[in-house]
Amino acid sequence: MIELAFVLATPFASGLILALIGHWRGAAEINSAGSLITLLAACVLTARVVSEGPMTLFDEQFFVDPLNVFLITLTALVGFTTSLFSRPYMRVEHEHGRLTIGRLRLYHSMFQMFMGTMLIALSTNNLGVLWVAMEAATLTTVLLVALYRTPASLEAAWKYFILCGVGIAQALFGTILLYFAAERVLGHEGGALLWTHLDAVKTQLEPTVLSLAFVFLLVGYGTKTGLVPLHNWLPDAHAEGPTPVSAVLSGLLLNVALYAIIRCKVLVDGALPTHFAGNLMMGFGLLSVVVAAFYLARQKDVKRLFGYSSIEHMGLITFAFGMGGPVANFAGLLHMTVHSLTKSAIFFAVGHAAQKAGTQVIDDIRGLLKHSPTIGWGMMLGSLAILGMPPFGVFTSEFLILTTAIKHYPWATPFLLVALGVAFAAIFGKVQGMVFGEPNVADLPHRPALIPVFVHLGLVLMLGLWIPPYLADWYRQAARLIG
Partner 1 sequence: MTPAVSGQLINLFAAIMLLLGFAMLSQRRIITLINLFMLQGIVLSLSTLVVAQSTGQTHLLWSAALTFVLKVIVLPYILHRLIRKLSIKWDVETLINIPTTMLAGIALVVIAFNVAQPISQLSGTITRATIGIALACVLLAFLMMITRSKAVPQVIAFLAMENGLFFAATSATYGMPMVVELGIALDVLVGMVILGVFFFQIREQFDSLDIRQMEKVHEE
CA distance 131 to 33: 29
Query: In the 8-state DSSP scheme, what is residue 23?
Result: T
Interface positions, 33-92, toward partner 1 (CB under 8 A): 61
When binding is defined by CB under 8 A, the residue of 20, 29, 101, 155 that contacts partner 1 is 155
The CA R_g of the chain, rounded to the nearest whole Å, is 21
Spatial contact of 27 and 104, defined as CB atoms under 8 Å apart: yes
Q: Does 177 bind partner 1 (CB under 8 A)?
A: yes
106/467 with CB nearer partner 1: 106
Q: Does 96 bind partner 1 (CB under 8 A)?
A: no
Residues 179-198: x/- map of binding to partner 1 (CB under 8 A)?
A: xx--xx---x--xxx-----
Q: Does 209 bind partner 1 (CB under 8 A)?
A: yes
CA atoms within 13 Å, Cβ hemisphere of 372:
24
Spatial contact of 247 and 344, defined as CB atoms under 8 Å apart: yes
Cβ contacts of 110 within 8 Å, gap of 6 or more = 15, 140, 141, 143, 144
Q: Does 129 bind partner 1 (CB under 8 A)?
A: yes
Spell 138-168 as b/e; 16+ CB within 10 A means b: bebbbbbbbbbeeeebeebbebbbebbeebb
308/319 with CB nearer partner 1: 308
Q: Does 406 bind partner 1 (CB under 8 A)?
A: no
53/229 with CB nearer partner 1: 229
Q: Does 270 bind partner 1 (CB under 8 A)?
A: no
User: Which part of the chain contacts partner 1 (CB under 8 A), choosing from 75-83, 133-141, 259-267, 394-402?
Assistant: 133-141
Interface positions, 284-303, toward partner 1 (CB under 8 A): 300
Q: Does 98 bind partner 1 (CB under 8 A)?
A: no
CA distance 462 to 206: 45
188/480 with CB nearer partner 1: 188
Q: Does 158 bind partner 1 (CB under 8 A)?
A: yes
- Reduced to 3 states (helix: H, G, I; strand: E, B; else coil), residue 361 is strand
CA distance 216 to 177: 9
54/207 with CB nearer partner 1: 207
132/218 with CB nearer partner 1: 132
Spatial contact of 11 and 112, defined as CB atoms under 8 Å apart: yes
Residue numbers at the binding site for partner 1 (CB under 8 A): 61, 126, 128-129, 131-133, 135-136, 139, 142-143, 146, 149-152, 154-155, 157-158, 161-162, 165-166, 169, 172-173, 175-177, 179-180, 183-184, 188, 191-193, 206, 208-209, 212, 236, 300
